C-alpha cells in the first residue's frame, strides 16, 4: 500500500486536533468557563482599544491558560483510564497538573491587571 503523502498526513492531524479542541469545549466545564472568559476579555480589548503589544500579551495569556487546561484534562483522563483506584502517586500527578494550570492562570490574571487597571483607574 503506498504511503500517504506528508501533506495529507499533516492535514489529517490538523483535523484530529480540531476534533480534540471541539471535544474539550463541548465536554469540559472548566474549558467552557475559560472560553467565556476569553470572549469577555476579547470584548474588553476592543472596548478599551488596547494596543498591539497588549493584544499580543492578552492573546498569549488566553491561549496558554486554555492550552494548559486542555493538557491537564488529558492528563486527568489518562490517570483515570490507567488507574481508576485511589493511589497517592495518581493524586500527585493530578495535583502537579492542576498546579500548572493555576500558575499559568495567575500569570494571565497579572497580565490582565497590568493591561486594564490603568484604563479603569
Ligand X SMILES: Nc1ncnc2c1ncn2[C@@H]1O[C@H](COP(=O)(O)OP(=O)(O)OP(=O)(O)O)[C@@H](O)[C@H]1O
Question: Which residues contact ligand X by CB under 6 A?
Answer: 30, 76, 86-88, 90-91, 94-95, 98
What is the DSSP secondary structure assignment for residue 5, as one 8-state letter?
A: P
List the end-to-end C-alpha distance of the chain, in Å, as a whole number: 66
Count of helix runs (H) and strand runs (E) in the chain: 4, 0
Q: Quick one: 15 or 99, whose CB is closer to ligand X?
A: 99
CB of 83: closest distance to ligand X in angstroms? 6
Q: Which residue is nearest to ligand X (CB)?
A: 91
CB of 70: closest distance to ligand X in angstroms? 11
Q: Quick one: 67 or 91, whose CB is closer to ligand X?
A: 91
Residues 6+ apart with CB under 8 A from 78: none
Amino acid at each position: 500500500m503506498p504511503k500517504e503523502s506528508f501533506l495529507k498526513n499533516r492535514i489529517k492531524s490538523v483535523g484530529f486536533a480540531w476534533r480534540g479542541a471541539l471535544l474539550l469545549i463541548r465536554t469540559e466545564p472548566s474549558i467552557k468557563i475559560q472560553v467565556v472568559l476569553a470572549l469577555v476579555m476579547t470584548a474588553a480589548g476592543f472596548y478599551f482599544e488596547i494596543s498591539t503589544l497588549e493584544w499580543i500579551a492578552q492573546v498569549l495569556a488566553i491561549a496558554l491558560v486554555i492550552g494548559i487546561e486542555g493538557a491537564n484534562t488529558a492528563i486527568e483522563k489518562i490517570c483515570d483510564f490507567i488507574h481508576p483506584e485511589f493511589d497517592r502517586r495518581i493524586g500527585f500527578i493530578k495535583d502537579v497538573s492542576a498546579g500548572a494550570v493555576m500558575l499559568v492562570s495567575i500569570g494571565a490574571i497579572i497580565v490582565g491587571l497590568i493591561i486594564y487597571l490603568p484604563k479603569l483607574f
